[in-house]
Amino acid sequence: MNTDLSLEQAPPISVPFQFFVTAPLFGIVASIILLAYGPAIFTSRWNLETLAVTHLLTLGFMGLVMCGAILQMLPVLSGITVPYVKPVGTLIHILLVTGIIALSIGFLASSPVLMNTAIGLLGGGFGIFIVVILMAMLRNKMTTQTLSAMRLALISLLFTVILGISLLGSFIWPDININLALLTELHIAWGTLGWVSLLLIGVAFQVVPMFQMTNEYPRWMTRFLPSVLFGGLVVWTIIKLSGIGNPWHIAAFIMLICISGYVSFAIITLWLQQSRKRKLRDTTLLFWRFAMLSALAAAALWADHNLMPGLINPEIYPFTLGIVLLAGFAVSVMNGMLYKIMPFLIWFHLQHHQLSLGLGRKYAIPNMKQIIPDQNARYQLYLHIIGILTLVLASLFPTSWLVYPAGVMLMTSFSMLSFNQLRAVRLYRDYKRRLQAASEATSQTD
């Protein structure tokens, strides 16, 4: 394993875990809304219930996992601690969770009051998060490729949130005169290709070689890819905003370059996994494979829509692309990552606890495979994949009943993830108690 990590700087386990454990609950709620509205969800991408489902996934599941992962990884990668990480982490968590709930109910009930509340809570939560993390990064002289990508992802998050809040403002005050179509396009691009993808790429540079025992990513990729992608998004945005020349062609060309970058990342990740020396097929690896294949499918869908006559109906395209990119790529990577990061952190904190109690390494701490058995994760992976493929089919045949089995499978899959997580947390608490008891028994016999 990579030895450049300052594991001693890791924040208390409750800081990332509160984010990780709440995330799948939003996935469950998104699936329930899918079941409640059925095929109506595909009538228009601007349906308020469709926007609710989208944000339950992008903010509720993905946003919480990513914020938890950054709060955990930043000190470990850079050796810098986030000041008052426990209260600050809890405050950010409360603001984001309540903000996501307000936003989703605000969409579903078309309630300006709740949308307004969501602006305050999400603006506050993300605002504090971005300031705290960027300040910690600025204090740090050291930089790694993962940290640089994280910095660019945070700036992308800032753009996404500002654009999202402006769009929400236009729902509350319809008299505001903004170019809704353009701002939405920018919001989606910065959210998915900036915030989500840059962070996942940066984290992959660290965790794929470490947890999946692969070779390192090629140097040209770790050094240049995140900045080229970020630069591409900036140029694309400027062209879109300024309307220079024939902006559609120039913007599409820049986007094509960016998408080629994401495709090269997916292909290299698959190649690294394929050529690793120890060919153990664990579930995280399979989640990542499915995610990378989804990223390639999303790129093919984009090319089909933008560069060719287009096989898929333009009305259906945004739904299919959204499902493949958000659920197929992003949710899968994060789901797979949770199955490595959570057992690793539990194992690490128990070891640390044992040493700090003066027990040496006397007590047998469960290993990562015992904390979340691979078999349990594997059943969830199968449901996740079949659920997403069924949802893709449901988007291609929008009036069909397929959305119902897809909703049931995804709801069960998120529930299984939640069950596996809670079981691991219970095991952590049990062992912590046992270590405490062992320490007290030792001090009495002394």
- Binding-site ranges for ligand HEM (CB under 6 A): 45-46, 50-51, 54-55, 58-59, 63, 122, 160-161, 164-165, 167-168, 171, 180, 184, 187-188, 191-192, 195-196, 318, 322
Residue whose CB is less far from ligand HEM, 67 or 409: 67
Least distance to ligand HEM, CB of residue 292, Å: 19
CA dist 190 and 390 (Å) reads 28
Least distance to ligand HEM, CB of residue 402, Å: 19
Output the furthest CA–CA distance in the chain (Å, rounded). 83
Least distance to ligand HEM, CB of residue 218, Å: 27
Name the token pair of 79: 């050796």
Token pair 């960027």: residue: 134
Q: What are the φ and ψ backbone dihedral angles of 398, each rounded to 5 degrees? A: -65, -20
Least distance to ligand HEM, CB of residue 246, Å: 24
Residue whose CB is less far from ligand HEM, 46 or 224: 46
Residue whose CB is less far from ligand HEM, 232 or 343: 232
- CA 245, 161, 163: angle at the middle one, nearest 5? 35
Name the token pair of 444: 């009495």
**What is the Cα 445 distance to its own chain's centre?**
49
Residue whose CB is less far from ligand HEM, 50 or 390: 50
Q: What are the φ and ψ backbone dihedral angles of 92, each rounded to 5 degrees? A: -60, -45
Residue whose CB is less far from ligand HEM, 190 or 205: 190
* The dihedral sign for the CA sequence 372, 376, 382, 387: negative
Within 8 A by CB and 6+ apart from 430, the residues are none
Least distance to ligand HEM, CB of residue 167, Å: 4
* 417 touches 24 (CB < 8 A): yes
CA dist 16 and 87 (Å) reads 12
Identify the CA nearest to 353 among candidates 441, 444, 442, 433. Answer: 433
Residue whose CB is less far from ligand HEM, 9 or 184: 184
Q: Which residue is nearest to ligand HEM (CB)?
A: 164
Residue whose CB is less far from ligand HEM, 164 or 232: 164
Q: Name the 3-class secondary structure at 437.
A: helix
Least distance to ligand HEM, CB of residue 58, Å: 4
* 159 touches 190 (CB < 8 A): yes
Least distance to ligand HEM, CB of residue 75, Å: 24
